[in-house]
Amino acid sequence: MQGMSERQYAAHVGLSRGAIQKAKTAERLVLYPDGSINAAASDVRRAETTDPSKVRGDRGASGAAKAPRTKPPEPKLKPVPEAAVAAVGDTLREQGLAVPAVGGGTTFLQAKTANEVLKAQERRIRLQKLKGELIERARALSLVFRLAREVRDAWVTWPARSSALMAADLGVEPAAMQKVLEKHVRAHLDELAEVRPDFR
10-residue averages of pLDDT along the chain (200 residues): 90 92 91 92 85 53 47 55 66 69 61 75 75 73 83 87 88 90 89 73
The 3-state DSSP composition of the chain as helix, strand, coil percent (nearest 5) reads 60, 0, 40
Q: Are residues 158 and 113 in the same domain?
A: no
Rounded Cα–Cα distance for residues 181 and 189 (Å): 12
DSSP assigned state of 137 = H
Q: Are residues 121 and 145 in the same domain?
A: no
User: In this structure, which amino acid lies at residue 143?
Assistant: L
- Does this model's pTM top 0.75? My answer is no
Q: What pLDDT does 43 receive?
A: 92
Q: Are residues 146 and 187 in the same domain?
A: yes
Q: What pLDDT does 62 receive?
A: 44
Q: Are residues 141 and 124 in the same domain?
A: no
CA angle, residues 184, 188, 190, in degrees to nearest 5: 115
Is 155 contained in some domain?
yes
Residue 72 CB-density burial (10 A; 0-12 exposed, 13-18 middle, 19+ buried): exposed
Number of domains present in the structure of the chain:
3
Is 73 contained in some domain?
no
Is 76 contained in some domain?
no
Is 123 contained in some domain?
yes
Residue 39 CB-density burial (10 A; 0-12 exposed, 13-18 middle, 19+ buried): middle
Q: Which domain holds residue 101?
A: 82-130
